[in-house]
Amino acid sequence: MQSVTSFSRSTPTRGLSTVAAYERYYRRHAERLAREQHIENPTPSEIVADLILQRAGMAMSTWRYRKAAVMYVIEHQHPGHHEALEALREHGSGGLARTSGNTAGRKRKHVPLAEWTEIKHVIGRRIKEGYRHAQALLDVLEATLLTGLRPIEWSFSAFATHEESGRPVLRVTNAKHSNGRANGETRELFVDQLTDEERATIGRALAACAAETRDDAERFKLALKHELETCRMMAVAGTRKPASSVTQYSFRHQFIADAKQTFETPLLLSAAVGHASTKTAFEHYGKRKHGRGRVRVFPTPESVAAVQNVTLETYRSYLAAQQGGRIPQVR
């Protein structure tokens, strides 16, 4: 058995949509390689070699995604290609560009105030003109700035009462729980420091997005996405400015940027936004310099403890691996 030399979290499982995307990328890469190099049924080793050759022209995030996709497919569908996997593992993202010129690379990881003002003005006009999803979009975006929920989480969350203190909370069903990337099935945020108007905005967002099934939630999320895209285009119509690259997820990034100016420890931030790891928000989300103020929702003690428990269980598994499978009683 391979020895464990460092303490790190075990790799979270992937959701079905992620696995499907990985398999689709691998298949397309193989098809392109076969077509361009006249190779019939490229082997995993040939695909890895081709991917490494392309690496220099990729952005960091693109390389990480494609590397993860190829590694996943080889590990699960083409066992025995250990040398190819090792070659791929040796190539990290160091030295690559931080962003690419494609659409995904231009997506904002914060919400510039000037752009938000322009977009909000257009949304307001569309509300007055009776567009179906305009009011829901405004409520969801403003509520996300207050709470940091992922877009899909609005469909499966609700106001509740904290069992121990009796204080009002927003109980959020964590979107990443099923694949091991959240601090439990749910997280709770104290909301009693928000104004009545702010809580009303959150309530309207919850009501607008409420869904019985995941498919219904995805359809409504897509409708809001299209509404936001329309508003972005209208905000710059008749000008020479490019359309904003702000997305729904940018508002979660902005909340996290604000939270980094609020919480003194990564643990509290992770608990507030539903991460199992204290590294995730600091490495991949909005930067502290883009924060515009302090947040006024706070994770409950139980949500904080859930992050601690994930770290503790990972550490216990690490110790067990070093001690021949015996799990020590770490408290």
pTM: 0.67
- Strand pairing of 168-173 and 158-161? antiparallel
Confidence band of 16 (pLDDT split at 50, 70, 90): confident
CATH of the domain at 123: 1.10.443
Q: Name the residue among 166, 142, 167 with its Cα closest to residue 154.
A: 142
328 inside domain: no
Instruction: For residues 142-149, give the mean pLDDT.
Output: 98
Residue of 197 and 238 predicted with greater confidence: 197
24 and 37 fall within a common domain: yes
pLDDT of residue 12: 57
**What letter would DSSP give residue 97?**
B
Of 73, 104, 135, the last residue of a domain is 104
pLDDT of residue 84: 87
**pLDDT per residue as tens digits for the range 93-141:** 888 877 654 444 457 889 999 999 999 999 999 999 999 999 999 999 9
Mind giving me the DSSP string for 53-78? HHGGGSBHHHHHHHHHHHHHHHHHHS
**pLDDT per residue as tens digits for the range 291-321:** 998 999 999 999 998 887 766 655 566 566 6
48 and 149 fall within a common domain: no
pLDDT of residue 100: 53
The CA-atom distances, in angstroms, between 238 and each of 121, 192, 229 are 16, 43, 16
180 inside domain: yes
Question: Which of 32-36, 44-48, 182-186, 209-213 is the most confident on average?
Answer: 209-213
309 inside domain: yes
284 and 173 fall within a common domain: yes
pLDDT of residue 309: 74
Confidence band of 229 (pLDDT split at 50, 70, 90): very high
31 inside domain: yes
Residue 175 scores a pLDDT above 50:
yes
Of 104, 126, 147, the last residue of a domain is 104
Side-chain half-sphere of 294: how many Cα atoms within 13 Å? Answer: 7
159 and 304 fall within a common domain: yes
Instruction: For residues 34-52, give the mean pLDDT.
Output: 86
286 inside domain: yes
Confidence band of 4 (pLDDT split at 50, 70, 90): very low
124 and 151 fall within a common domain: yes
39 and 91 fall within a common domain: yes
Instruction: For residues 72-92, give the mean pLDDT.
Output: 90
308 inside domain: yes
Of 104, 123, 147, the last residue of a domain is 104
- Within 8 A by CB and 6+ apart from 63, the residues are 55, 91, 93, 96
Range(s) of the domain holding residue 252: 107-317
Confidence band of 6 (pLDDT split at 50, 70, 90): very low
151 and 206 fall within a common domain: yes
295 and 168 fall within a common domain: yes
Instruction: For residues 278-289, give the mean pLDDT.
Output: 73
Confidence band of 58 (pLDDT split at 50, 70, 90): confident
CA pair distance 151, 149, nearest whole angstrom: 6
CA pair distance 234, 39, nearest whole angstrom: 48
pLDDT of residue 299: 95
Query: How many domains does the chain divide into?
Result: 2
185 inside domain: yes
Q: State both tokens at 213.
A: 């099934």
137 and 226 fall within a common domain: yes
pLDDT of residue 144: 98
**Least confident residue range of 117-126, 192-201, 321-330:** 321-330
Instruction: For residues 56-72, give the mean pLDDT.
Output: 89
Confidence band of 52 (pLDDT split at 50, 70, 90): confident
Residue 154 scores a pLDDT above 80:
yes
122 and 93 fall within a common domain: no
3 inside domain: no
Q: Name the residue among 206, 141, 134, 118 with its Cα closest to residue 170.
A: 206
CA 73 to chain centroid: 22
